């Protein structure tokens, strides 16, 4: 296992290098520049600004300059926010996005696993059809539709929560629900499917024959194997929740990484786009590694030798 973990960590280096290289050239091939929206700039001032940020250099020089600074842990200055560096923006906002992402993931797991257990405990009955139908509806609705619906019902209609902002703990509820509802639907269906496969196994029949209660069989014997599909899904699901937070943070006016990422793309803020892409690519690789490790511990048949 240790050898496998070391190999995976070493394998992250060329992946991140490839992601950084592709992103670097793609953002610069897009039409427009970081200072094109500035008004009343003379050509001399524009040339001076480009010289300060080394945008007047050939593209290959910009690339090697940027990659050398990344190796030192310096993601460079933001082109749009002149007084801030990319490192400072990430340091100031990552906790907000992480809090929202963790809350959305907990909500998705709690709702999805709970409804999946309810559906699997009585298959082909009303207890099965209702949660699975609701989960199918949840899969069909994207977060940019669910978010405004939650605002309309719970914030404007019932006046239970604020429409937007990040001032008090209750402001986390609607964004987390908007972010996690889609993934709760997937988790629900995966949980039901995994549990239905395990329920048919011989050792579950043996446990029933011994007279164990249904709750004991579910909690002690069925869940461990039935949740393996959910564990496999957690890697891409967590990445999807982090990416989906861009939209949710914009809808609910949350000052997290997502809002800066959206604005950086619109403003052609090259260094901020690069920093955000590298951050989320690193998080995705680490999360996938953790999921693989957890899968090996849960399923003794899996070996990474």
Tens-digit pLDDT profile for residues 228-242: 778 777 777 777 776
User: Is residue 270 very low, low, confident or very high in pLDDT (cuts 50, 70, 90)?
Assistant: confident
Q: Is residue 122 part of a domain?
A: yes
For the segment 168-185, the average pLDDT, to the nearest whole number, is: 86
Query: Is the pLDDT score of 305 beyond 70?
Result: no
Q: Is residue 222 part of a domain?
A: yes
Residue 36 is predicted with a pLDDT of: 63
Query: Is the pLDDT score of 12 beyond 80?
Result: yes
User: Which of 269, 270, 248 has its CA nearest to residue 259?
Assistant: 248
Residue 168 is predicted with a pLDDT of: 82
| Cα 157 to Cα 161: distance, rounded to the nearest angstrom | 10
Q: If you compute the radius of gyration of the chain from its CA atoms, what whole number of angstroms results?
A: 24
User: Is residue 285 very low, low, confident or very high in pLDDT (cuts 50, 70, 90)?
Assistant: confident
Q: What angle do CA 129, 229, 109 make, to 5 degrees?
A: 70
| Cα 237 to Cα 225: distance, rounded to the nearest angstrom | 19
Report percent pLDDT > 90 for the chain: 0
Residue 190 is predicted with a pLDDT of: 85
Residue 295 is predicted with a pLDDT of: 66
Q: Is residue 20 part of a domain?
A: no
Residue 214 is predicted with a pLDDT of: 65
Query: Is the pLDDT score of 304 beyond 60?
Result: no
Average pLDDT, the chain: 78
Virtual torsion, Cα 192, 194, 196, 199, nearest 10 deg = -130
In tens, the pLDDT along 24-49 reads: 888 887 776 666 665 666 666 666 76
Q: Is residue 207 part of a domain?
A: yes
Task: Tell me the β-bridge partners of 85.
Answer: 77
CATH of the domain at 188: 1.10.3720.10
Q: Is residue 277 part of a domain?
A: no
In tens, the pLDDT along 89-133 reads: 888 888 888 888 888 888 888 888 888 888 877 777 887 888 888
Q: Is residue 180 part of a domain?
A: yes
Instruction: Work out how many domains the chain is built from and give that number.
Output: 1
Of 62 and 50, the structure prediction assigns the larger pLDDT to: 62
Per the CB < 8 A criterion, the answer to whether 171 and 160 are in contact is no
User: Is residue 181 very low, low, confident or very high in pLDDT (cuts 50, 70, 90)?
Assistant: confident
Residue 7 is predicted with a pLDDT of: 82
Q: Is residue 41 part of a domain?
A: no
Report percent pLDDT > 70 for the chain: 80
In tens, the pLDDT along 240-262 reads: 776 667 778 888 888 887 777 77
Q: Is residue 281 part of a domain?
A: no
In tens, the pLDDT along 131-160 reads: 888 888 777 777 778 888 888 888 888 888
In tens, the pLDDT along 194-228 reads: 877 777 776 666 766 766 666 666 666 677 677 77
Query: Is the pLDDT score of 279 beyond 70?
Result: yes
Residue 204 is predicted with a pLDDT of: 67
Query: Is the pLDDT score of 277 beyond 80?
Result: yes
Which range marks the domain in which residue 179 is found? 93-258
């Amino acid at each position: 296992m240790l050898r496998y973990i070391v190999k995976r960590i070493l394998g992250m280096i060329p992946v991140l290098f490839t992601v950084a290289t592709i992103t670097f050239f793609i953002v610069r091939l897009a039409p427009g520049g970081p200072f094109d929206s500035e008004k009343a700039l003379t050509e001399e001032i524009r040339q001076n600004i480009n010289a300060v940020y080394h945008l007047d250099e050939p593209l290959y020089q910009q690339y090697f300059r940027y990659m050398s600074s990344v190796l030192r842990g310096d993601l460079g200055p933001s082109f749009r926010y002149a007084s801030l560096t990319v490192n400072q923006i990430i340091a100031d906002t990552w906790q907000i996005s992480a809090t929202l992402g963790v809350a959305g993931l907990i909500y998705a797991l709690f709702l999805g696993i709970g409804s999946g257990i309810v559906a699997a405990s009585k298959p082909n009955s009303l207890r099965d059809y209702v949660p699975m139908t609701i989960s199918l509806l949840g899969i069909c609705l994207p977060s940019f539709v669910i978010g405004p619906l939650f605002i309309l019902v719970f914030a404007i209609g019932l006046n239970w929560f604020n429409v937007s902002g990040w001032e008090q703990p209750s402001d986390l509820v609607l964004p987390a629900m908007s972010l996690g509802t889609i993934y709760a639907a997937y988790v629900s269906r995966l949980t039901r499917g995994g549990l239905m496969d395990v329920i048919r196994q011989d050792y579950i029949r043996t446990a029933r024959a011994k007279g164990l209660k249904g709750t004991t069989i579910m909690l002690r014997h069925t869940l461990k194997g039935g949740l393996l599909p959910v564990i496999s899904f957690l890697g891409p699901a967590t990445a999807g929740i982090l990416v989906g937070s861009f939209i949710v943070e914009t809808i609910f006016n949350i000052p997290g990484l997502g809002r800066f990422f959206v604005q950086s793309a619109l403003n052609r803020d090259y260094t901020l786009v690069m920093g955000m892409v590298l951050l989320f690519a690193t998080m995705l690789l680490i999360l996938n590694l953790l999921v693989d490790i957890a899968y090996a511990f849960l399923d003794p048949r899996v070996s990474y030798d």
